[in-house]
Amino acid sequence: MKKLVYLAALAMLSLLSGFTNPKKNTQKPKLIVGVVIDQMRYDYLTRFASKYGEDGFKRLLKGGFSLENAHYNYIPTYTAVGHASIYTGTTPVNHAIISNNWYDKYAKKSIYCVDDSKYKTIGNNGDGGKKSPYRMLTTTVTDQLKLAQNMNGKTIGIAIKDRSAILPAGHAANGAYWFDGGDKGQWISSSYYVNNLPNWVQEFNMSKKVDEYLEQPWETLYDINTYTESISDDNNFEQPFKGEEKPVFPHNIPALKSKNNNYSIIKAIPAGNSLTTDFAKAAIIGENLGKSNFTDFLAVSYSSTDYVGHQFGVASKEIEDTYLRLDKDLANLFKFLDTQVGEGNYTLFLTADHAAVQVPSYLQSVKIPANYFSYTKFRDYVTEITKKHFNSDAIVENISNFQIFLNKEKIEELKLDVHTVAQKIADEVINYKGIYKTVTAKTLQSTTFTNGILNSLQNGYNQKFSGDVLLVPNPSTISHSKKGTTHGSGYSYDTHIPMIFYGNGIKQGTSKKKYEIVDIAPTISNLLQIEFPNGSTGKIIDEVLE
Ligand SMILES: [Zn+2]
């Protein structure tokens, strides 16, 4: 009897606490929103903090859980690989997206990660929509959510870049939409997903929002003299737009448009992020996301940050302005989610697909070691090695993404052993200027590297698709023009990214513990109580979950 009273009291208490704490939402999320900021370094959160508003990045930092020491754990840190790894919870070892473009040794040609000629463009008569995620071999957290709900619930992927919409949305998505630039200026899709553009996409395209954005010059959001977090606007380390003499504000977009591939210019200015936000909002309404009894998933990736970063570099006024404006776009999106889906009804995570190195020529100017790598010169060097040791200039089939692909037929014809040839090349090219480490595929197959840069190289190595000799360049050594910058390495400047969870089921706090990008998908899977993606190698980040 006593026990019964106690139990009744307990039930009463939990019922009461349910009423007295309405903010505590015990319902599963109605919508998961994955936000990926292309090329966002962790330090962009702190560097511009004094100028961010309260409702963008700071809202996530204050109300959510921020992992301050989150990193990519593989090489190469490129866009397609990043998006695939976030959503599959594994690395190229398993998901097989080894780069954006790579040499397909079976087809004997360079391929693009999401090209698929089996499908046609939906939205116009161009080739921009002949895409699918078929080269990604494992499932995504978005796929697992669809499977767990017997294909109920909707998944929509959105980004200016096709690969950043397609890979996150997974194989079983309802739709993925990306922006077709050039003379088109429309959001399109692939017949892999749909046979016609949904009404809301057609209406968005007809609204000509993109034209409105391109009628404005790109000026700084605030007085440029207050932009004290970046170097001087006019410098030698930035790439002006075509038709511009200097890489300085204001950038006269209407006048520059025709010289910079028309509608494609919006990719490389902050308005591209605003357009993405507008389109994401249209998707939430058009697809009724977060309104059913099932959990929906919106995967949105902001691509313009990457184009601006490549063109102007990490320290530029343009990057500062792009992030201050993105902060406003994010605030706008979060507020929209509050009214449309309801605060507490959605869970959001924000991260990046890779970070970026400071412009090497800028680093050199301040005496920090940095350099440029020329594939043309390197190829000549490798040819001299194979001529000298194996009396042939036809042994190497392709060099790309810091990997050497050998011509196996030629090696057999010359009656040489492929492992001997690979090892000799690895031993010789280590002497090339700017090369830091060299490893053969055989070593990666027979040795387990548990930490450091070789562990990252191994995590990015796929036995079936990767090359025969893998190279690691020196820190801050890139293959790029001397103006602007890039990414792709396993060094901290490319691997350290924001990782923030927010909303339904998420605690408030921060952590300085080291986490890896592959931990996001298992954490979201655990939050949803669904099976992990089938190749997942990450762990559940226990401390962010309620
Ligand atoms: Zn990039």
301-358 per-position pLDDT tens digit? 999 999 999 999 999 999 999 999 999 999 999 999 999 999 999 999 999 999 999 9
**What pLDDT sits at residue 8?**
52
Please report, to the nearest 10 degrees, the dihedral formed by the alpha carbons of residues 163, 255, 319, 81 taken in order.
10
3-state secondary structure of 404: strand
Distance 166 CA to ligand 1 centre (A): 17
Intra-chain end-to-end CA distance of the chain, in Å: 34
Distance 263 CA to ligand 1 centre (A): 19
Nearest to 356 by CA among 315, 399, 301: 315
Spell out, as residue ranges, where the chain has pLDDT lower than 70.
Answer: 1-26
**What pLDDT sits at residue 383?**
98
For residues 68 and 492, what is the distance between their CA atoms, to the nearest angstrom? Answer: 13
Distance 170 CA to ligand 1 centre (A): 21
474 secondary structure, DSSP code: P
Q: Do residues 249 and 218 make contact, with C-beta atoms less than 8 angstroms apart?
A: yes
**Can you give 434-465 as a three-state secondary structure string?**
CEEEEEEHHHHHHCCCCCHHHHHHHHCCCCCC
Domain residue ranges in the chain: 31-364+489-544, 371-474
Q: Which amino acid is at 502?
A: Y
Full-model pTM: 0.94
With b meaning 16 or more CB within 10 Å and e meaning fewer, what string describes 68-97?
bebbbbbbbbbbbbbbbbbbbbbbbbbbbb
Distance 12 CA to ligand 1 centre (A): 55
Distance 304 CA to ligand 1 centre (A): 10
Fold matches, 31-364+489-544 and 371-474: no
Distance 489 CA to ligand 1 centre (A): 12
79 catalytic per annotation: yes
3-state secondary structure of 331: helix
Looking at the DSSP bridge assignments, the partners of residue 65 are 501, 509
* Residue in the block written with tokens 């030698």: 236
For residues 127 and 180, what is the distance between their CA atoms, to the nearest angstrom? Answer: 10
Distance 276 CA to ligand 1 centre (A): 17
Nearby residues of 258 by Cβ (< 8 Å), 6 or more positions away: none
Q: Do residues 517 and 72 make contact, with C-beta atoms less than 8 angstroms apart?
A: yes
Nearest to 357 by CA among 488, 259, 184, 453: 488
Radius of gyration of the chain (CA): 24
Distance 104 CA to ligand 1 centre (A): 21
For residues 508 and 457, what is the distance between their CA atoms, to the nearest angstrom? Answer: 34
Distance 496 CA to ligand 1 centre (A): 15
For residues 394 and 421, what is the distance between their CA atoms, to the nearest angstrom? Answer: 12
Distance 33 CA to ligand 1 centre (A): 22
Please work out, in degrees rounded to the nearest 5, the angle formed at the alpha carbon of residue 343 by the alpha carbons of 341 and 344: 105
Residue from 20, 77, 79, 295 carrying the catalytic annotation: 79
pLDDT in tens, 410-419: 999 999 999 9
With b meaning 16 or more CB within 10 Å and e meaning fewer, what string describes 181-193?
beebbbbbbbbbb
Q: Do residues 417 and 378 make contact, with C-beta atoms less than 8 angstroms apart?
A: no
**Dihedral sign computed on CA atoms, order 276, 281, 284, 286:** negative
Distance 338 CA to ligand 1 centre (A): 31
- The correct answer on CATH 3.40.720.10 for the domain covering 31-364+489-544 is yes
Distance 39 CA to ligand 1 centre (A): 6
Helix/strand number for the chain, H first, E second:
21, 18
- Axis-axis angle for helices 520-528, 79-88 (nearest 10): 30
Nearby residues of 102 by Cβ (< 8 Å), 6 or more positions away: 110, 111, 113, 400, 401, 465
Distance 40 CA to ligand 1 centre (A): 10
For residues 454 and 493, what is the distance between their CA atoms, to the nearest angstrom? Answer: 17
Please, is 369 exposed, middle or buried when counting C-beta atoms within 10 Å of its C-beta (0-12, 13-18, 19+)?
Answer: exposed
- The correct answer on CATH 3.30.1360.150 for the domain covering 371-474 is yes
Distance 278 CA to ligand 1 centre (A): 23
Instruction: Say if residue 369 is preceded by a cis peptide, omega within 30 of 0.
Output: no
For residues 459 and 72, what is the distance between their CA atoms, to the nearest angstrom? Answer: 10
Distance 478 CA to ligand 1 centre (A): 12
**What pLDDT sits at residue 15?**
47
Distance 239 CA to ligand 1 centre (A): 15
Residues in the chain: 546
